[in-house]
């Protein structure tokens, strides 16, 4: 099918930048070599090219201007939040207009009675939860990057975090989104009523990685803080035992608020960083948080303790107070940063496997790392089978990048072979596009491409992301009408 | 040739002719009547894979909700799908009406992890995946729930299961439902007909006892079961459910889900306004998935 494509460097960008500057404010439209470097990548480290202009709109109307002017100049638009994405979703391709939402960072309203807040996309995840503290409410998605990542980015990637095990991912916490479409139309998807008319376009939008539109206002569902919370730290002499304990907890019909695993290397790194008193000699530790009403929490904690010990837990430590709980969580959430003490670079993977296959897939992950001679650390959302193998390296070592890449490909492969999927919370972006055809057949990808086309028929928003080239059947095959593919 | 039930279903759908899938006909009128002459098919029935330790179940869309519930009960689990007696899994998903436990359990759309559907071209398509967490590509599953079979026909699904609650209890009284909801930590449902308030508590026995005590202090007493729900569903912002805004629009009687905004009423909800942008998007979506208009022709997704 015909798509208008930006024609790249040949188009003069000066006039575009000037018009964008008039529509926004000259100081909120950046361009030049420095911008290419600053905004040429996100936390994935993937780099594909420069930008025509970097825009910092402050209103929905300004986002509309960015989208319209980009379209008039035949350029694509790439939305970007805080740039913490790990799949290259915000990486510019073909010198697009980059729309950065960081200046749209106001919490517009909080309604504690109906437990809804309207926020702009640039609001930082943790800032929102802090703003809700006086009401005894919080925003449930809590990715490890929550100190930096934005709510708009959470919507784009359908973020998870440790507590999505029982509370659900971002999609379960977004009621409505105001969206600027690729042609500049503004629509509100979803609504505050339980069943807005028509298709769940809101649900289709969440997790679409900036390819369907740009979120400019978001109505999020607020979650009351649990009356009681208990965090248990269990340590094990083998990773297998810890993984088996995870399966044991799930199989016993317990859905904790969070169920996280850290292996020895990452526990040691985190301990050196936060001094939380993690047992650094354990092969693996589990962080299990149960919450709810006081009596139920006590009984659930006792069952977790019992199941853990039955699977070989050496000790079960219960955080004595909120401060200790916060410290233990800090170690878990800053684990990725803590590895800088070991090697300067890392690649963080993200696949999901059936929870019953955890032991076997983890074993394969260690074998893969050994085979490619790379250092692997595992810190992940064990309760929902969401693996995060962290490949740690020094980019200055000759040949290491090839080994890291090969090990990563193998990890994806064993995850899929175990009946798993490509990504649990980071998304596909550029990083995993080439694996999509391993998980989905041509008809599956064609259906996804139709969803995208309905939103953005001209392919103006974040082109080249998520779906591999040729996903729409008509793109690949020029077959006579009526041909059955 | 040996075809799987799913392949046979795809073959029955074929590449042309108006077609619809019949479940239990319990919500058959939602979205209006299908065009005369539309072929009626049934989706495959039966539980394909039940993995208690995985807390997921793979099931044919033609399976009744009751059969699925019975199978899950044997392993101490459930999926909260709602639906009247005879309703099928595919039917309740295609209609997308959530159960009264939505306040605690969330909307029905969140239970669908993977769907095997037949496209308008008669091809088998996989949407989503079997794991409880998945952001691999576009989320067709969200779009399918409530789509009234206008985008594709659901043949088989993987659903997320939850532990069956240890205890479950209905209470009722004339307490203000808004106060009641505020005072309780995790009520499964708070229903109100303008006079009587019903409360459903589910969970650990000790928690249900504790919450019951709060409710009893507020004047509720234990009752045998839920109220009978009037036939039509309204969808209104939950803040509009306050005493003042209860008006005659609902008909002779109504039962409102407090904190959710679903109102079961004896009269249907008048058509709600739809913004032109959403209308255009909806039409593009339907035409994109079903260019010849053969899937459930006559059903209106915006007018329901």
**pLDDT for A5-19, tens place per residue?**
444 443 468 899 999
- Residue B229: which of B208, B257, B201, B205 has the closest Cα? B257
* Three-state DSSP state, A58: coil
In contact, B207 and A293? CB cutoff 8 Å: yes
Counted across chains A and B, CB pairs separated by less than 8 A come out at 253
Q: How many residues does chain B have?
A: 304
**CATH, residue A177:** 3.30.465.10
Whether residue A290 is found in the same domain as residue A361: no
Which residue of chain A is at minimal alpha-carbon distance from B119? Answer: A447
Whether residue A188 is found in the same domain as residue A158: yes
Element (H, E) at A14: helix A14-23
Whether residue A257 is found in the same domain as residue A360: no
How far is A26 from B61, CA to CA, in rounded Å?
56
Q: Is residue A1 part of a domain?
A: no
Written in H, E and C, the secondary structure of B68-104 is: HHHHHHCCCEECCCCCCCCCEHHHHHHHCCCCCCHHH
Whether residue A217 is found in the same domain as residue A247: no
Chain B residues touching A181 at Cβ < 8 A: 277, 281
**CATH, residue A265:** 3.30.70.2190
Given CB atoms, is B251 within the 8 Å cutoff of chain A? no
Instruction: Give the pLDDT of chain B (304 residues) as one tens digit per residue.
Output: 689 999 999 999 999 999 999 999 999 999 999 999 999 999 999 999 998 989 999 999 999 999 999 999 999 999 999 999 999 999 999 999 999 999 999 999 999 999 999 999 999 999 999 999 999 999 999 999 999 999 999 999 999 999 999 999 999 999 999 999 999 999 999 999 999 999 999 999 999 999 999 999 999 999 998 899 999 999 999 988 876 556 668 888 999 999 999 999 999 999 999 999 999 999 999 999 999 999 999 999 997 6
pTM for the whole structure: 0.95
Whether residue A171 is found in the same domain as residue A82: no
Containing structural domain, residue A417: 343-428
Answer with the one of A66, A84, A100 that is the final residue of a domain.
A100
Q: Is residue A470 part of a domain?
A: yes
| From B131, B261, B275, residue closest to A187, measured CB to CB | B275
Tell me how many domains chain A contains. 5
Whether residue A165 is found in the same domain as residue A241: no
Judge whether residue A484 has pLDDT over 80: no
ipTM of the predicted assembly exceeds 0.95? yes
In contact, B139 and A421? CB cutoff 8 Å: no
Strand order in the sheet with B47-51: B47-51, B56-60, B153-160, B112-118, B124-128
**pLDDT for A387-430, tens place per residue?**
999 999 999 999 999 999 999 999 999 999 999 999 999 999 99
In contact, B218 and B180? CB cutoff 8 Å: yes
Q: Is residue A64 part of a domain?
A: yes
Task: Tell which of A168, A192, A194 to mutate to test the B interface (max B CBs under 10 Å).
Answer: A194
pLDDT of residue B225: 86
CA of A265 vs chain B CAs: smallest distance (Å): 26
Q: Is residue A482 part of a domain?
A: no
Answer with the one of A84, A100, A116 that is the final residue of a domain.
A100
Judge whether residue A134 has pLDDT over 50: yes
Answer with the one of A341, A372, A399 that is the final residue of a domain.
A341
CB contact under 8 A, B262 and A194: yes
Q: Is residue A178 part of a domain?
A: yes
Q: Is residue A156 part of a domain?
A: yes
Element (H, E) at A442: helix A442-455
| From B56, B122, B129, residue closest to A421, measured CB to CB | B129
CB contact under 8 A, B53 and A185: no
């Amino acid at each position: 099918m015909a798509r208008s494509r930006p024609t790249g460097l040949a188009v003069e960008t000066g006039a575009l930048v000037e018009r964008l500057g008039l529509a926004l404010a000259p100081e909120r439209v950046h361009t030049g070599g420095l911008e290419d470097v600053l905004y040429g990548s996100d936390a994935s480290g993937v780099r594909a090219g420069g930008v025509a202009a970097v825009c910092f709109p402050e209103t929905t109307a300004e986002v509309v201007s960015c989208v319209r002017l980009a379209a008039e100049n035949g350029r694509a638009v790439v939305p970007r939040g805080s740039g913490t994405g790990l799949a290259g979703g915000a990486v510019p391709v073909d010198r697009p207009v980059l729309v950065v939402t960081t200046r749209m960072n106001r919490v517009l309203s909080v309604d504690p009675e109906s437990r809804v807040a309207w926020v702009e996309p640039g609001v930082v995840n943790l800032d929102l939860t802090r703003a809700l503290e006086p009401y005894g409410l919080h925003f449930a998605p809590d990715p490890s990057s929550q100190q930096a990542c934005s709510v708009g980015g959470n919507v784009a990637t359908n973020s998870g975090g440790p507590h999505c095990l029982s509370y659900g991912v971002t999609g379960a916490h977004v009621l409505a989104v105001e969206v600027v479409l690729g042609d500049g139309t503004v629509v509100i998807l979803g609504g505050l009523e339980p069943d807005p008319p028509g298709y769940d376009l809101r649900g289709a939008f969440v997790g679409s990685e900036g390819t369907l539109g740009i979120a400019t206002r978001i109505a999020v569902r607020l979650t009351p803080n649990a009356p009681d919370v208990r965090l248990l730290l269990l340590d094990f002499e083998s990773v297998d035992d810890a993984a088996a304990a995870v399966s044991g907890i799930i199989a016993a019909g317990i859905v904790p608020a969070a169920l996280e695993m850290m292996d020895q290397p990452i526990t040691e790194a985190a301990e050196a960083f936060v001094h939380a008193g993690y047992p650094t000699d354990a092969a693996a530790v589990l962080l299990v948080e149960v919450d709810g009403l006081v009596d139920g929490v006590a009984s659930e904690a006792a069952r977790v303790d019992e199941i853990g010990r039955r699977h070989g837990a050496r000790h079960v430590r219960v955080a004595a107070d909120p401060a200790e709980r916060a410290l233990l969580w800090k170690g878990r959430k800053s684990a990725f940063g803590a590895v800088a003490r070991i090697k300067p670079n890392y690649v963080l993977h993200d696949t999901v496997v059936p929870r019953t296959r955890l032991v076997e897939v983890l074993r394969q992950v260690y074998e893969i790392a050994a085979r490619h001679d790379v250092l692997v650390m595992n810190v992940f959302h064990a309760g929902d089978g969401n693996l995060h193998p962290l490949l740690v390296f020094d980019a200055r070592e000759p040949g290491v990048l090839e080994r890291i890449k090969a090990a990563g490909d193998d990890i994806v492969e064993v995850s899929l072979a175990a009946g798993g999927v490509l990504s649990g919370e980071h998304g596909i972006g550029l990083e995993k596009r080439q694996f999509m055809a391993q998980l989905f057949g041509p008809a599956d990808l064609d259906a996804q491409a139709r969803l995208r086309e309905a939103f953005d028929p001209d392919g103006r928003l974040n082109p080249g992301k998520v779906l591999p080239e040729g996903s729409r059947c008509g793109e690949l095959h020029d077959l006579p009408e009526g041909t059955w593919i | 040739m040996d075809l799987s039930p799913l392949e046979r279903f795809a073959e029955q759908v074929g590449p042309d002719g108006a077609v619809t899938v019949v479940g239990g006909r319990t919500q058959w009128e939602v979205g209006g009547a299908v065009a005369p002459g539309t072929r009626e098919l049934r989706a495959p029935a039966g539980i394909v894979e039940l993995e208690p330790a995985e807390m997921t179940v793979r099931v044919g869309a033609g399976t009744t909700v009751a059969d699925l519930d019975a199978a899950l009960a044997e392993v101490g689990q459930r999926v909260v799908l709602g639906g009247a007696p005879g309703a099928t899994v595919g039917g309740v998903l295609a209609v997308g009406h959530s159960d009264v436990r939505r306040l605690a359990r969330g909307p029905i759309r969140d239970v669908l992890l993977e769907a095997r559907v037949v496209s308008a071209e008669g091809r088998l398509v996989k949407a989503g995946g079997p794991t409880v967490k998945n952001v691999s590509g576009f989320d067709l599953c969200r779009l399918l729930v409530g789509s009234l079979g206008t985008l594709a026909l659901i043949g088989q699904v993987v659903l997320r299961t939850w532990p069956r609650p240890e205890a479950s209890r209905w209470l009722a009284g004339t307490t203000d439902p808004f106060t009641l909801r505020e005072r309780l930590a995790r009520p499964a449902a708070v229903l109100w007909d303008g006079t009587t308030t019903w409360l459903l508590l589910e969970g650990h026995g000790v928690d249900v006892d504790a919450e019951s005590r709060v409710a009893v202090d507020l004047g509720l007493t234990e009752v045998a079961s839920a109220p009978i729900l009037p036939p039509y569903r309204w969808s209104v912002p939950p803040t509009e459910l306050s005493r003042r805004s209860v008006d005659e629009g609902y008909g002779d009687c109504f039962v409102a889900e407090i904190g959710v905004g679903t109102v079961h009423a004896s009269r249907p909800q008048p058509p709600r306004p739809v913004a032109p942008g959403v209308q255009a998007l909806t039409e593009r979506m339907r035409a994109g998935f079903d260019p010849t208009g053969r899937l459930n022709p006559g059903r209106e997704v915006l007018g329901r």
